[in-house]
Chain A
Amino acid sequence: MNVLKVREDFPILKNGLNGKPIIYFDNACMTLRPRQVIEKMNEYYYNYPACAGRSHHKLSKMATEEFSKSRSIIRKFINAKSDKEIIFTKNTTEGINLVAKSFKFHKGDVIISTDKEHNSNLIPWQLVARQQGLRRERISTKEGFDLQHFEHVLKHAKSNSNRSFVSMVQTSNMDGTSIPLKEIVNIARKYDAVVMLDAAQGVPHKSVDVKKLDVDFLAFSGHKMLGPSGTGVLYGREELLNRLDPFITGGSTVDDTTYDGATFTQLPERYEAGLQDYAGFIGLGAAVEYLKKYIDDIHVHELKLNKIITEGLNTHVNILGPQDPKLRSGIFSFNAKNKMDHHEVALLLDSYANIMIRSGRHCVHSWFNDNKIDGSARASFYLYNTEEEAKIFVEKTKEILKMK
């Protein structure tokens, strides 16, 4: 992967901010967009700004073709069996909510998650569990994922004739650690559990094959993988998707209605109510097309950057998660050893050096509360970040930390 060539495709990296170069290390929140994605979205608005799949005129036909093409591109990208298994959503959050609200649970069923879930994979389950009388179990990742406890929970549920639903974060947006997915799925299958992955930090950084992973549901966001904001995808096994209750209903979700009832349509439209963000999803297709050229190199590249930064700053900061950068993918979450506030670190990097990182609790408030930590500063990398940028980050962070 030629990073310098990649950077040429990103207008903001080429032009900078007010003519000054930026270092964008907030990719776990949102990535930048290449020219190709922006142009593809403009193409929709310029050339065929019409409803897809509804009207029969030429413009509508063009929009339908591009919209469907985009779904196929995404399906191929994660190696799903059929386009019917690709549901367009607003983001990962909506995908998880769709499953949480529509899955047919029975009282006593068990929801299993980790202790590092993003609010998007925590709150929906808290509500559903309360409303439907489900039990929730949390697997600790403090000393690595506790597979033993995980199996024990599944076994216990099965022995009580309760079904288990595993919904876990593939890679934590907080510290970059990943769960041992293969083992988790193997154990889950042993006890007939359903497995859903919050892959918001997974799909954008590594090649994901849903058939190989053998997961039942997988949700991810477009804006974390070079795509437009407000776009996301829920993958679901066709047979499971067919068994879900309708989620948001309305236009496009039905074949027919009477004053007293409705006949719901086929997948995937059944779960895509109302007029869709056609430009956005067509843009997401373009983002995936772009990304697939580099997807096999991104993870290695991010590890390289993480190594430079870890080695440069490990004596100055406390790193959240394991010390070994190989275990933290493209995320470097930290707090200054001299107790400089994490917000201050982030704001100073921004005002002093045009380095953009995030600070706070990264929507994982539950973990921070449990560990009595206020928050952290977080640098997260992507394919267009360079080793030079990583070195500058180290140097500037050291300078800032010296201020206290």
Chain B
Amino acid sequence: MICIIALIVFGILGIFSVKYRIIAKEAFNCVFKKITLRKCDTGLDIRLKSQISGSFLKFSPRLGRIAYKYFEVFSWIFLILTLVTLYFMGLGLYNYAVYGNCNGPQGGFCIYDPLGTTKPVNTTTEGSICAIPGHSIGAVLTAPKNITITDGAYIGNPQAGVVIIEYGCYSCHYTKLAEPTVKRLIKKYGDNILYIYKDFPLRGTHETAEPATEAAHCALDQGRYWEYREYLFANQQRQFDEDLKGYAKDLGLNDTQFSECLNSGKYKSLVEQTYSEGIALGITVTPTFFINNQSLVGAKDYSEFKKIINKELGISWWEFWK
């Protein structure tokens, strides 16, 4: 049994060092002979057994004796542990390739990505949403048809083959959490996509959701939507009228014009209309994304977006890694 473990361990170490490659070769020879029902005559098994139990003997004669006598039992245990470890290692790699995180969709610390660079959003669908009171995920969503760009809350190429529509709420924590993913997608795919933000203020959940949404439109009036949007997400705890006006001032917007816009309820009906459209599509939570006809609900991993977009764009699997 020890030869199988040696083959696995030294086979891996042998990738990096010649001296281990020699042992791996011996181990392979030994395993091959045993498989073909012949005696392992390389002496590797005896060498490893003696060296390991000899080392234990240095600490205590009893320990050495146990290691020597039950060496085969320990070898089996270690073989099983090695195989289990290899299985989980493989699973981790698979998850990393598919979900961008070695733990799969559930996220968490990943040894392959200790800095979390490919995992800006560490959440799952469940618990990664803000919902209209009394609702959760489960509604059947219909992808929006005949998309027309009615305001400036979009970025990308209007002729792009992939259209990403986000129904979000500026006061929703999970819409905020999805923001780095959105930014990363915009940066990576550039003119290959069109990103559109649609208002879905969760008024029953967040009391400042509606004014914040209207304020974003007022910033758009002055051509400063994206900066203001960033401000809103950065200050989700303080989105009352005075705060919203203060942010506009901070950004150097015309504060009189901004205040008038906000006080007059200029965009109330537009926001309401977009919200109703969302309801009609079956949306009850934020963030809800549509990538062409496919929906993604919640602050999901970047890799999940990438997988769908690559498929829509017809990007081959080897480019998937880029």
Footprint of B on A, CB under 8 Å? Answer: 341, 343-344, 347-348, 350-352, 399-400, 402-404
Contacts and interface: CB of A to CB of B under 8 A. Distances in A.
Contact of A400 (B47, B49, B55, B57): B57
Interface string B34-74: 00000000010011011101110110010011001100000
A400 B57 CA distance: 9
B41 to A, nearest CB: 11
B57 A399 contact: yes
A351 B65 CA distance: 14
B46 A403 contact: no
Contacts of B54: 347-348, 350-352
B40 to A, nearest CB: 12
Contacts, number: 42
A235 B49 CA distance: 45
A343 B53 contact: no
A355 to B, nearest CB: 11
Interface of B is mostly: helix
A404 B49 CA distance: 13
Contacts of B69: 403-404
Contacts of B57: 348, 351-352, 399-400, 403
A-B residue pairs, 9 tightest by C-beta: A351-B54, A347-B50, A352-B54, A403-B68, A352-B57, A348-B54, A351-B51, A348-B50, A403-B65
A281 to B, nearest CB: 33
B65 A402 contact: yes
B271 to A, nearest CB: 77
Nearest to B46: A343
A343 B55 contact: no
Nearest to B57: A352
A178 to B, nearest CB: 31
Nearest to B54: A351
Contacts of B53: 348, 403
Contacts of A400: 57
Secondary structure type dominating chain A contacts: helix
Interface residues of B, number: 16
Contacts of B50: 343-344, 347-348, 350-351
B49 to A, nearest CB: 7
A399 B61 contact: yes
A360 to B, nearest CB: 9
A404 B50 CA distance: 12
A365 to B, nearest CB: 14
Contacts of A348: 50, 53-54, 57
B61 A343 contact: no
Contacts of A352: 54-55, 57-58, 64
Contacts of A403: 53, 57, 64-65, 68-69
A347 B46 contact: yes
B246 to A, nearest CB: 70
Given A347-B51, A347-B54, A403-B53, A341 B46 contact: yes
Contacts of A350: 50, 54
Contacts of A351: 50-51, 54-55, 57
A114 B243 CA distance: 107
Nearest to A404: B68
Interface in B1-60: 43, 46-47, 49-51, 53-55, 57-58
A347 B61 CA distance: 16
Residue with the greatest number of chain B CB neighbours at <10 A, chosen from A343, A344, A350, A399: A344
Contacts of A347: 46-47, 50-51, 54
Contact of B43 (A343, A399, A402, A404): A343
Of the candidates B46, B55, B65, the one having the most CB atoms from chain A within 10 angstroms of its own CB is B46
B58 to A, nearest CB: 6
Nearest to B51: A351
A344 B61 contact: no
B122 to A, nearest CB: 47
24 contacts: A341-B46, A343-B43, A343-B46, A343-B47, A343-B50, A344-B46, A347-B46, A347-B54, A348-B50, A348-B57, A350-B54, A351-B54, A351-B55, A351-B57, A352-B54, A352-B57, A352-B64, A399-B57, A400-B57, A402-B61, A403-B53, A403-B65, A403-B69, A404-B69
A395 to B, nearest CB: 12
A400 B49 CA distance: 13
B118 to A, nearest CB: 44
Contacts of A399: 57, 61
A5 B64 CA distance: 36
A403 B62 CA distance: 8
A350 B57 CA distance: 12
A341, A343, A350, A400: residue with the most chain B Cβ atoms closer than 10 Å: A400
Nearest to A349: B54
A96 to B, nearest CB: 28
Nearest to A399: B61
Contacts of B47: 343, 347
